[in-house]
Structure 1
Amino acid sequence: MQGFLNLNKPAGFTSHDCVARVRRMLRLKRVGHGGTLDPAATGVLPIALGKATRLLQFLHQDKAYRATIRLGIVTSTDDLEGEIIASAPVSGLSLEAIGAALSMFQGKIQQVPPNYSAIQVQGKRLYDLARTGEKIEVPARVVEVFKIEILDWRPGDFPELDVEIACSSGTYIRAIARDLGAALQTGGTLAGLIRTQSSGFCLVDSLSLDELATQLEQGTFQPIPPTDALQHLGALTLPVTAAQRWCQGQRIPWDKPDGGVINSPLRVDDESDRFLGIGHLVESDDAHLLIPQMVFEPI
């Protein structure tokens, strides 16, 4: 079995827990995931099955979320799983002021990841360093928020804001909640998170673990084919003889490509629309060459 599973991760499960559960359910050794989700978060968790684990690096990187931000509270983890560091009722805060502050988080922004995160500093995970009490200065990094939109606003002593966020890979929604609270001088933390899109997969098409179990019992489960998951890549189709040579690791001469595809991953198919793997084009002295980067299906 090979391909992808669009899993709707339940709350309380780590991404690793989900991989372990799917591995047991499918009786499959090679299972991996793309884009870690915090245990409290739910939503799209792309799961690769069999040889498709080698394709995780080529999946679409952008993501989208629905998040609930609670103002008036600061926690050690920037979400409700952590210790409350500060808490004070919020007064006099308008939705207009929140909208103005949110605009600061759209586009390319500098973001400091939460102390409790899987990012490595000095060869160690930040959450491991945080648990030991070690103080580490985490460097800011550039991420991009394509869209941030207010969905709902519930006033009160500790008001809550529902937002929809589309962003680049590596963006921490917990950090946006924390930094919004700082910008409003109220404090803020993440109170809920659902990932609605990841790696080209959407929540509406996802399967829960229970739904997966039912499909397996009924014999109806079908992995998502690699071709469907890699639609965002440019594609080249090889005739039979060239496809055989390419799958044997040979470089294939290719006509001059359109701009923008040199040295970029390309989906390689044969004339029967069979997915063969990932290649890339390079310039040689007098031609362009299609080089195998990952052969998925030998001929």
Structure 2
Amino acid sequence: MTLKQLENLVEIDQDLTDDAYGTYYDKRTIEQLLNYGLIILDKPPGPTSHETVAWTKRLLKIPKIGHSGTLDPQVSGVLPLGLGEATKALGVLLYGPKEYHALGRIHSLPSKEKLENTIKLFTGAIFQKPPQRSAVVRQTRIRTIHELEVLEQKERLLLTRILCESGTYIRKLYYDIGEFLGPGATMIELRRTRVDQFRESDGLVTLHELAHAFSLWEEKKDESKLKDMIKPVEYAFSEIKSIIIRDSAVDAMCHGAQLAIPGILKISPN
């Protein structure tokens, strides 16, 4: 299997590579994956994202894990975790969109036409001020709502799907929609179903499943389940352009040299 970012590359030159240095992404051991791997966790409602990371560190018995995109305690869903050195790759995921499914209550029932028009108004670039209880400075900023769709309505209850820019507050979005409608609105429940290329439909890992898989590997040396749960760090870069460079250029770049054209073997098109 070839990584998505390495497909259809434009070849500029050819050269040999020494397999003695490094390990192919699909041939890494569990020990290597625990330092260069990703886990797409299904965060349960209740704990903070920080607590979830702390529990995962204790489960896997490793000192360093990071997460991409904080979820409020009562919010569940996709929480990408970077293990060890893979924490450095998590910042890439902030450039991609995030998808949420939210359940909210409108304080009084609007007409169908007014609701549809309001939903359209809140699609695209919007102004948003973070809520009082937030981890950032409360300054009005622009965020993009790529898609806002009402999946189901039962009287004053609305189930919506929101595809939006990273850093959008969905609870505040519901509040603002309610203010525009007049009587107000409140978000009841929220689940994140996508972070960039990682989707809920692709399969998530729960803490219980992770604990069971790790104990199988640690006690019975059965790595099959754990290896399925930990993705190579390269999966985080599947949506960005790639360059393959010569072995001889790697050491120079690691010591601060700039990459020149003679050091490039393949490059993404366009």
Q: TM-score, normalised by structure 1?
A: 0.70
- 1:57 is aligned to 2:91: yes
**For the residues of structure 2 that align with 1:45 and 1:21, how far apart are their CA atoms?**
14
CA contact (8 A) 1:23 1:29 kept: yes
**For the residues of structure 2 that align with 1:147 and 1:61, how far apart are their CA atoms?**
14
AA partner of residue 104 (structure 2): I
CA contact (8 A) 2:246 2:264 kept: no
Q: Name which of 235, 238, 248 aligns with 1:228.
A: 235
Larger RCO: 1 or 2 (CA < 8 Å, sep 6+): 2
CA deviation string 1:228-266 (max 9, x = no partner): 1111111000122122332343323127xxxxxxxxxxx
Query: Match of 1:66?
Result: 101
**For the residues of structure 2 that align with 1:216 and 1:48, how far apart are their CA atoms?**
16
Task: Flag structure 2 segments of 5+ consecutive residues without an equivalent.
Answer: 1-33, 218-224
AA partner of residue 216 (structure 1): F
Q: Name which of 108, 111, 124 aligns with 2:125.
A: 108
**For the residues of structure 2 that align with 1:200 and 1:22, how far apart are their CA atoms?**
22
Report the count of equivalent residues.
Answer: 221
**For the residues of structure 2 that align with 1:165 and 1:144, how far apart are their CA atoms?**
11
Identical amino acids, percent of aligned pairs: 33
- Pairwise CA distance, 1:21: 0.5
Q: Secondary structure at the match of 2:133?
A: coil
CA deviation string 1:2-26 (max 9, x = no partner): 2111000001011001100100001
Q: TM-score, normalised by structure 2?
A: 0.77
1:183-262 aligned within 5 A: 183-204=180-201, 205-219=203-217, 220-222=225-227, 223-254=230-261
Q: Name which of 2, 15, 22 aligns with 2:49.
A: 15
- Pairwise CA distance, 1:199: 3.8
- Pairwise CA distance, 1:221: 1.2
**For the residues of structure 2 that align with 1:13 and 1:270, how far apart are their CA atoms?**
46
Larger relative helix fraction? 2
Query: Match of 1:97?
Result: 114
Q: Secondary structure at the match of 2:238?
A: coil
**For the residues of structure 1 that align with 2:111 and 2:264, how far apart are their CA atoms?**
55
CA contact (8 A) 1:46 1:199 kept: no
- Pairwise CA distance, 1:269: 10
**Which is further off, 47-56 or 236-245?**
236-245
Q: Secondary structure at the match of 2:54?
A: helix
Task: Flag structure 1 segments of 5+ consecutive residues without an equivalent.
Answer: 73-89, 121-137, 256-267, 272-299
CA contact (8 A) 1:197 1:203 kept: yes
Q: Name which of 67, 78, 88 aligns with 1:44.
A: 78
AA partner of residue 109 (structure 1): I
- 1:181 is aligned to 2:178: yes
**For the residues of structure 2 that align with 1:64 and 1:245, how far apart are their CA atoms?**
40
Query: Match of 1:285?
Result: none
**For the residues of structure 2 that align with 1:199 and 1:56, how far apart are their CA atoms?**
11
AA partner of residue 45 (structure 1): L
CA RMSD of aligned residues (A): 1.9
**For the residues of structure 2 that align with 1:186 and 1:33, how far apart are their CA atoms?**
37
**For the residues of structure 2 that align with 1:253 and 1:139, how far apart are their CA atoms?**
42
Larger relative strand fraction? 1
AA partner of residue 166 (structure 2): S
CA deviation string 1:25-71 (max 9, x = no partner): 01111111110001111000111110011112122431000011111
